Chain A
């Protein structure tokens, strides 16, 4: 029997795999900066990036196909596993789509609860992004400060929804339980604490000269490119594209609260960073307006035990922490969807990565990927 012998050069063609002296390196699927199983094949000329090819599919679970065999109550919980940092908002989008099909009126209390939870989720998601972004750029400490605040939100979620990350709190017609009696007080305490902490974040990271040099003018994405790549969320808003679904197609009670859509025009990593940091304050503003004005009433509309959507096609969209999340349901009139499609923001945002990072240094890649705020299960589904 012949045994396999490793060739003297380790089976590699040598360091230079391209003819023109370019270096091809694989960043991922196991790499500290990709935050998941993203695989980027990067062609380098020295330290300069010539080309980036993202390879996807390492965590593909065919969620869309799975949903075709689940009922309209059941499929909502699966969407928590896509963009797990905006689990609430994903669930909200699905619930909205089913409600659209059922022509169901959601009680006002449930709508306010949904918005409150969504904004808390957005803060938690931006917190994690902020810490991870700073960590990608080499500053470890902000990560722990960010997680301290995020933990408080998780505790609030746990008390009301019963879980910390994948809450499955939205059901067609409302929310699963009523708010916990402590909820309002704890959220108010959190907001008070959080307002001070945002200033600390600015001291530690936003104002830091090294951080500014690392992000300003890096990974510039023009407004036209942002639109043609289909970028949404903070990525597009950092390039000056007004695309906040909460403003353009208001759902739940977003048309009744006052908040600003943050738009920066520079299109670089720093602009995208600023959009997210300023969104933290806007989310706080929304919560402050709603927390004392939760209407009394039902938290769930009366629904039948078995939900059946009429024959037709339904689409709803929500603004997650990463951009526009769309749910498209084709119904044949049965208890399960005939076909379901999710429009995940991460996939479109990732597609602009190659365009943004050509010609930058490999160190810039971390700044660019950090501000894209990729969640890999959201891209692969």
Chain B
């Protein structure tokens, strides 16, 4: 009984976290975009436009959830939920603060990379079921893209697994007690980090890899036919996915909730420990999110064949060679 109650509470917490994250991240994206584009951004609803996204959500909820006549009704309506549930599942092994984790599974990192590929099924489902040519093209692009970029994302995750010697998220964080892997792993760790960021940008269908919804080519790609709350679920899932991949990036390379520790500088380390661990985690995650937003508002989009050649000709060979170097570092114990 207590277990069921616990499950319900966790479920409610995750769902409310989703809602809050969606609102905050969309607002953040709009504000960041506005500042980079020398605009003001939303500033009318609430103080400094803070309730703009809440108002938008209200609008989307009140809109009619249209299902096109030619669509496969069952799959069409299922797809947004598949994407959403896939995003929810990855939330499980993420450590939000010291000892604050839903499920510290012993193969945490493997679990994350396995479940993150489920969302592409939802996207393919949406694109196919819409019975729209733009949607189909977008979904197919998305499929090719996510399958390829998972490789280099996986390889850069493995490089941290090699360094820390564990797949468990709590162990990986604990191994960064004396310093984050980004700094301790020499240049190969930095290369792995850069590749990880590029690969997850592609995996979350963000610009410059937003080919699945490239609006100047495919109007809106796989979610062209969606409206109202079903569209909002896709939109929300996109931002939740960004949060999750950035959280994983922060956990693997920047030490998760672990404060900034510098070797054996006791005084400095104690000072850093005063900052709550949840703030460290959120700070790092939002820094990475900002980085990904910065990409989006700077770069043009790649073409579909260039996207694949970037992965197969550049990222994959580099990350394989890099993994070799990291293994060498780990075996010889050259890291700090």
Contact = CB atoms under 8 A, between A and B. Distances in A.
The answer to A–B direct touch (Cβ < 8 A) is yes
A210 B302 contact: yes
Interface stretch (A4-12, A98-106, A239-247, A249-257): A4-12
Interface string B142-166: 0000000000000000000000000
B43 interface: no
A366 B302 CA distance: 12
B304 interface: yes
Given A33-B217, A139-B300, A213-B303, 5 more contacts: A25-B134, A208-B299, A361-B305, A363-B301, A366-B217
Contact of A139 (B69, B299, B305, B306): B299
A53 interface: no
B33 interface: yes
**Interface footprint category on A:** 35 or more
A138 B299 contact: yes
Contact of A138 (B38, B39, B133, B301): B301
A189 B325 CA distance: 55
Contacts of A260: none
Contacts of B68: 10
**Interface footprint category on B:** 20 to 34
Given A9-B70, A32-B216, A145-B38, A137 B300 contact: yes
A204 B216 CA distance: 19
Interface in A322-361: 361
Contacts, number: 95
B300 A141 contact: no
A139 B134 contact: no
A23 B208 CA distance: 26
B88 interface: no
B270 to A, nearest CB: 43
Of the listed residues A25, A135, A211, the one surrounded by the most CB atoms of chain B closer than 10 A to its CB is A25
Contacts of A15: 131, 133, 136
Interface string A196-209: 00000000110010
A364 B300 contact: no
Given A10-B131, A32-B216, A139 B298 contact: yes
A144 B297 CA distance: 11
A148 interface: yes
A49 to B, nearest CB: 12
A10 B70 contact: yes
B273 interface: no
